[in-house]
């Protein structure tokens, strides 16, 4: 089975992480388990800094090319931290 793929979004001007990332899993059950495990967890053991993790949703066909965002990965898992 393949390893998860992580993409960390970087600020183009500062070249620092923006605080958003996506994680793609081969198996949808694994992605669901990751959401359940990490959503609401403390970020790096810092009280008050909670992770917000959810399943990524692809925009509907009508939104492509009209300001909708596309992305890499398989769309089976995602998160924001």
Render pLDDT for 10-67 as a digit per residue (tens, 0 to 9).
Answer: 999 999 988 888 888 888 899 899 899 988 888 877 778 888 888 887 777 765 555 5
Q: What is the structure's pLDDT at 12? A: 94
Distance CA 44, CA 33 (A): 19
The whole model's pTM is what? Answer: 0.54
Q: What is the structure's pLDDT at 68? A: 46
The pair phi, psi for residue 30, each rounded to 5°, is -65, -40
Domain coordinates in residue numbering, the chain: 5-80
Q: What is the structure's pLDDT at 36? A: 92
Q: Is the pLDDT of residue 9 over 70?
A: yes
**Four-way CATH pick for 5-80: 1.25.40, 1.10.1740, 3.30.160, 3.30.70:** 3.30.70
Rounded mean pLDDT, 70-78: 49
């Amino acid at each position: 089975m393949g390893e998860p793929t992580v993409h960390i979004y970087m600020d183009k001007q500062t070249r620092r992480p923006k605080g958003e990332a996506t994680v793609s899993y081969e198996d949808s059950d694994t992605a669901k388990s990751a959401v359940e495990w990490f959503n609401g967890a403390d970020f790096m053991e810092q009280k008050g800094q909670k992770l917000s993790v959810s399943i990524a949703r692809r925009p509907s066909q009508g939104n492509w090319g009209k300001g909708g965002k596309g992305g890499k990965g398989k769309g089976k898992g995602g998160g924001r931290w």
